[in-house]
Amino acid sequence: MSMPTDSAEPGTVGPSGVAIVTTAAASAVILGCGIVTGLIAARSLGPTGRGELATITVWAGVLLYAGTFGVPEAVAYFSAAERTGRERVWTTGVAIAVFLGGLITVVGWWLIPAMFSAREDAPVAAIRWYLLLFAVPGCASLCASAWLQGAGRLRAYNISRSSIHVINAAGALLLFAAGDRSVVHFAAVLLIGNAAGLAIAVAYGPWDRFAHAPASPDLARRMFHYGFRVQVGNWSNAASVRLDQLLLSLFAPAAALGLYVVAVTCANVLQTVPGSAATVMLPEIVRQQQAGAAGASVERWYRRALWMTLPGAAALAAASMILVPMLFGDAFRDAVPLVMVLIPATVVLGMNQLLATAFRGLGRPGVGSTSELIGMLVTVGALALLLPRYGVFGAAAASLLAYTASHLYLLRQVRPILGGGPRNLFVLNGDDLKALFGALHNARLRLTRATPAPGPRIQEPLR
């Protein structure tokens, strides 16, 4: 069954295509700012200082991600599914987020010293204070932004999520201009960006109506029920994506972790397209599922995101040999081989994110959670085998193995749940080519602020 088309000006790709382009642009801004921030931190702090900064921040990020209990994903889903009750979804989600943020802080405050008990040089106090100032605004920001995503308010969503990284980059530039080489000051910049992101996301909330829609215990129960099914995957994903950095922070020299973080930063550029597609796709998949037309839609999203990502992966692999030492400094030249391993891993990770989001939109969050659990088991086994012998290269290889295992499971669920086959996921058709070229054409026009020339109407927008 084909997807319904949207009205569009001649020569453009319609509202969904515009949403993809603008969301991809916001993701590109986020990744660009992340590279700028990471580049400045690397040049200012060196491999050792960059590793120390990662040690301070990675634990707070993992604890937050593992302690949200899937509530941000539940907020996005219910915001899309319950259009008449969105204000109550907002108030309930934010109230839960504040509570969970406090709980994460208490647990982390006790856990962090225990985890670093074997290292006398660990910055335990800095990690604890960073968590204290990060957890509550971070959790609330995730839920407030998720509400905007589910409500289809993608412009506000993109502004709120990108503002964090823009402020981070601006703060890093100020530190660099001032000649500041303090790891603590760089961490403080990240906290300021996190707080600003929360303020902006909340400002876009339904302030004119939320006072008449107080938090609902019944809705909270349903959100937790949905979120718990997602959270198994979140815990597993936190292990798969961040266990390598956590273990490196505990057992490897700070300089080795600094090299690894730079390699991850470079490879993460490839998540722009699948991450943007997943963002735009979620509310639409919810609507398509309610209309009984979700299967073909998911297949289209997958193959178009995949074939827009693969050329970028090839280009990044070719460019990284020159760009990494040129941008980050010659001290990070040893990160280039890590980038080569992490590029295919990141491509697979992005497609995992897209499929897991699609299954959540179908009301099947357990599928993504199971895939993440499989990935976590592979991660633990691969790290135990490879990390002691190969160090950071073993960690990169473990990521590739784990993401691939998760992806194979997700692909096996496509046929029984969606009714399609591998060809529908991987082989482009004529409509796909029209949509892809139309999206590129539309992006060029927007960048040059040109007026679209009259031409054939593209009936199949980029979805």
pLDDT in tens, 68-117: 888 898 998 888 887 777 888 888 998 999 999 999 999 999 989 988 87
pLDDT in tens, 266-278: 888 888 788 878 8
User: 3-state DSSP call for residue 105?
Assistant: helix
With beta carbons less than 8 A apart as the criterion, state whether 446 and 4 touch. no
Q: Residue 449: pLDDT above 70?
A: no
What integer pLDDT is reported at residue 429 of this predicted model?
79
pLDDT in tens, 295-354: 788 888 888 889 889 999 999 999 998 888 888 888 888 889 999 999 999 999 999 989
What CA–CA distance (Å, rounded) separates 394 from 380? 12
What CA–CA distance (Å, rounded) separates 176 from 163? 20
Cα dihedral sign for 407, 410, 414, 415?
A: positive
Q: Residue 453: pLDDT above 70?
A: no
What CA–CA distance (Å, rounded) separates 94 from 148? 12
With beta carbons less than 8 A apart as the criterion, state whether 14 and 306 touch. no
Spans of all domains in the chain: 14-445
For the entire predicted model, the pTM comes to 0.63
Kindly list the distances between the CA atom of residue 376 and the CA atoms of 7, 240, 396, 399, in Å, as whole numbers in the listed order.
Answer: 43, 5, 14, 10
The overall average pLDDT reported for the chain is: 81
All residues at 6 or more sequence positions from 384 whose CB lies less than 8 Å from its CB, including other chains: none
The overall longest dimension of the chain from CA atoms, in Å, is 68
Kindly list the distances between the CA atom of residue 219 and the CA atoms of 71, 215, 365, 434, in Å, as whole numbers in the listed order.
Answer: 11, 8, 18, 42
Q: Using alpha carbons, select from 191, 49, 41, 171 the residue that is nearest to residue 129.
A: 191
What integer pLDDT is reported at residue 208 of this predicted model?
65
